[in-house]
């Protein structure tokens, strides 16, 4: 029951659902997620922390970069089932399509440049 409650609470926020959907194709650097959501880095960090606690996402550090991806082996059955449900229910969602379009553009951007831009921002 605890795993189910953690996952449902984590998915009770639109930004966290958007992050989960953005991670479906593959891992993203935190700066890419910040650019997609147009939120402060600290806010995005809090959101991904909640997704990690619910075992919907996992992270890895590479040098100064922090990457996030959907949980694999570490994810609970409840988290995986709820994530699959979110993916199915949002297949035709306009926000999801717009985020996917923007993410394609963001992935073409230089990560160093994104990071510099965000560190100058006073979000």
- Cα separation of 74 and 70, whole Å? 10
Architecture of domain 2-116: Orthogonal Bundle (1.10)
- Cα separation of 109 and 97, whole Å? 19
Global confidence as pTM: 0.90
For 24, the token pair is 């479906």
Beta bridge partners of residue 70, listed in sequence order: 57
pLDDT in tens, 17-56: 999 999 999 999 999 999 999 999 999 999 999 999 999 9
| CB atoms closer than 10 angstroms to residue 108 | 7
Q: Where are the domains of the chain?
A: 2-116
Pick the closest to residue 31 from 110, 84, 85 (CA basis).
110
């Amino acid at each position: 029951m605890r795993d189910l409650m953690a996952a449902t609470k984590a998915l009770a926020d639109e930004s966290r659902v958007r992050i989960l959907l953005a991670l479906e194709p593959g891992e993203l650097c935190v700066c890419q997620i910040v650019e997609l959501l147009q939120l402060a880095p600290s806010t995005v960090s809090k959101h991904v922390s909640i997704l990690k606690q619910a075992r919907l996402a996992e992270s890895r550090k590479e040098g100064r970069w922090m990457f996030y991806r959907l949980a694999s082996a570490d994810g609970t059955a409840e988290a995986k089932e709820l994530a699959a449900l979110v993916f199915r229910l949002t297949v035709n969602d306009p926000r999801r399509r717009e985020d996917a379009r923007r993410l394609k553009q963001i992935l073409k951007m230089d990560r160093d440049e994104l990071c510099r831009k965000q560190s100058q921002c006073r979000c």
